[in-house]
Amino acid sequence: MSKRVPKAPAEDGEGDLAILHPERRQTIAGVAITMREYGFIEGVELAERVRHVVDALGDVAFSGQLLTPHALRPAFAKHLDDVITLMAAASDQTEAWVRGLGDADGQALMLLWWVTNADFFVRRVIEAVTERHLAQVSAGQTSTPPLSPPAMTQPASARTRVVN
């Protein structure tokens, strides 16, 4: 029977960098990739590309769908050039390398990118969906369908009487 060796206590703040800037590592197409979440300045620098993707993700969220990789594929495909730039930036790879990936490696990179940066995007999607909802409410629109007008005639089943 092997004996478990307790881990040494972590130094104060040791995990703070991982929380502030999460990174995930994976080998894709033979290249060791370190995918990282965008920092504040990088997010500002990429703001136009991010906005296009956030708008598309907001459409998905506003329609009531969960932001799962499957539900997001059409949104990512709609803004593929932006997504390629964003994936390349977060992985410190060239856009040409990203474009040259085969299907399985490209899907792996996209999933790694999304898992690492989902919080970055979701914060912006929540803001965009909230603004859209508030704009609809202030314009008098509601999210519930209008009530149907009262029925003017009885349904056929109520008028028809079966006689045995």
Query: H-helix or E-strand containing 32?
Result: strand 31-36
For residue 40, give the amino acid letter: F
Tell me what pLDDT residue 63 has.
Answer: 87
Which tokens is 1 given?
Answer: 């029977």
Q: In 132-141, which positions are buried (b, 16+ CB within 10 angstroms) versus exposed (e)?
A: eeeeeeeeee
How would you class 50 by CB atoms within 10 Å of its CB: exposed for 0-12, middle for 13-18, buried for 19 or more? Answer: buried
Tell me what pLDDT residue 162 has.
Answer: 45
Which residue from 135, 152, 154 is spatially nearest to 143, judged by alpha carbons? 135
Tell me what pLDDT residue 142 has.
Answer: 55
Entry pTM = 0.70
Below-50 pLDDT ranges, the chain: 1-10, 17-18, 147-163
Helix, strand, coil shares, percent, the chain, to 5: 55, 5, 35
Cβ pair 122, 145 in contact under 8 A = no
Which tokens is 128 given?
Answer: 């965009």
Which tokens is 136 given?
Answer: 């609809």
In tens, the pLDDT along 134-152 reads 888 888 755 555 544 444 3
DSSP string, 148-163: PPPPSS--HHHH----
Q: Would you kindly state where each structural domain of the chain is located, as residue ranges?
A: 20-137
Tell me what pLDDT residue 157 has.
Answer: 45
Cβ pair 80, 122 in contact under 8 A = no
Tell me what pLDDT residue 12 has.
Answer: 53
Distance CA 76, CA 56 (A): 8
Number of Cβ within a 10 Å radius of residue 83: 22
Tell me what pLDDT residue 128 has.
Answer: 85
Cβ pair 89, 46 in contact under 8 A = yes
